[in-house]
A = this chain, B = another copy of it.
């Protein structure tokens, strides 16, 4: 038995979901009634049941299990690579970047790259998830390619941004390393499809595979996320154990009222029906800041759909917003408490931070400073979270809280899995396909056309023939 499978550890690190402040019992007419939830009846049954039935089509639901051999391979590979390289760089975008970033930030030191190699115990950690030339060039002002391992991650093996980065870096590595350049590249991609797997095989890169049927935004618990996590020294068994624990909780729930993922899904669905078209993710922990980014992709791409499964035009979706406590109390909370009744605010709370910082009792004569003395930053953070929740409740604004006893691999694994199932369940209730993204094709094709890719001549003509912009709607300063 490892720590993560010890029932005592599990009980101490189990998430809790609080939905009190979604309900009529607290918000009055602005809240949701238990009857409303029950009355969906058929909808819930359809949604939750079909989610159970269709589990076989959702390969990502089984990622907590059956990866023993790939987990061993990842650990072995990462163990050696952590010794050998000074820097580790993920080349990926979207689902290939957001999960690795969120998990790294959550579990590892907040100033990871600035620590000494000794304190870090492994290479510096970077994710290049954009093609901005300034940022790309800047990275090579602080890392040397010959000391760096690059993990190229693209499930399709054909993502333009990632392939462009790969082409540049491969060329750079060949210049400085000659024949041994391939040792600095590790690819994570589909086993069969796409260009990357062929190139990697031909040139001898180490390869990891995204399991079939696991889409980008549901891939964090596959090698897409596990390899970067292991490279950052994170215990990937803990992530998977947390996910398995949450899967059991969800799967063994006898009622919707015990099922945190599906109850939260139903509440968001009902909120959407009442016109709450915004869902804010607001962790009260710097370590969870990038989880709001990860969630934003999951929620937006999964639910933002023009057509439902019956091919009716529905323009579904709820726009995710990223916020951070306590920081955004000084930026967004004014709007959340006084603005339109158009959102659900989802707090993430942490019971025990991994550090305690005390506030000294100085300036007893100054009331505005004296009341802080003798408390800790921990206490202040918690008081502010509770105060904000209370202020929203008093203003009758829907809000939920997910509690993490502590930020660690096990709690993070639970959080990932919970939000993934919640998203899938909301998709079922909306009657849409949560696992595709047809809306990005137009932009991709237009990019190909603008880049002169053969085969996209018609699209290029379409673009050229589009109505020209009008000068009167393009404002320039008249020079003196």
Contact = CB atoms under 8 A, between A and B. Distances in A.
Quick one: which of A395, A450, A477 has the most chain B CB within 10 A? A477
9 contacts: A93-B327, A93-B330, A110-B134, A119-B141, A133-B357, A134-B353, A278-B319, A304-B335, A367-B454
A21 to B, nearest CB: 8
A457 interface: no
A164 interface: yes
B478 A330 contact: no
Contact of A474 (B7, B17, B355): B17
A475 B319 contact: no
Given A130-B286, A134-B353, A338-B439, A362 B171 contact: yes
A11 B479 contact: yes
A335 B357 contact: no
Quick one: which of A136, A141, A443 has the most chain B CB within 10 A? A443
B341 A315 contact: yes
Contact of A337 (B198, B439, B473): B439
A382 to B, nearest CB: 8
A184 to B, nearest CB: 16
Interface string A136-162: 111101100000000000000111110
A431 B378 CA distance: 40
Interface stretch (A39-47, A50-58, A224-232, A293-301): A293-301
Contact of A343 (B119, B167, B319): B319
A181 B469 CA distance: 60
Copies of this chain held together in the complex: 2
A387 interface: yes
A262 B406 CA distance: 48
Given A158-B368, A386-B446, 19 more contacts: A14-B479, A17-B474, A18-B473, A25-B467, A109-B138, A111-B138, A132-B353, A134-B354, A159-B330, A194-B368, A300-B335, A304-B336, A315-B339, A329-B443, A334-B437, A371-B448, A380-B451, A387-B445, A390-B466
Contact of A257 (B17, B356, B378, B472): B472
A132 B330 contact: no
Contact of A20 (B285, B473, B480): B473
Given A296-B331, A377-B132, A467-B26, A168 B360 contact: yes
A77 interface: no
Contacts of A7: 479-480
A66 interface: no
A14 B479 CA distance: 9
Given A301-B334, A378-B133, A164 B316 contact: no
Given A170-B362, A362-B170, A19 B473 contact: yes
Given A141-B115, A287-B134, A463-B390, A303 B379 contact: no
A135 interface: yes
B338 A447 contact: no
B466 A377 contact: no
Interface in A330-379: 330-343, 353-360, 362-363, 366-369, 371-373, 375-379
Contacts of A339: 300, 303-306, 315-317, 319
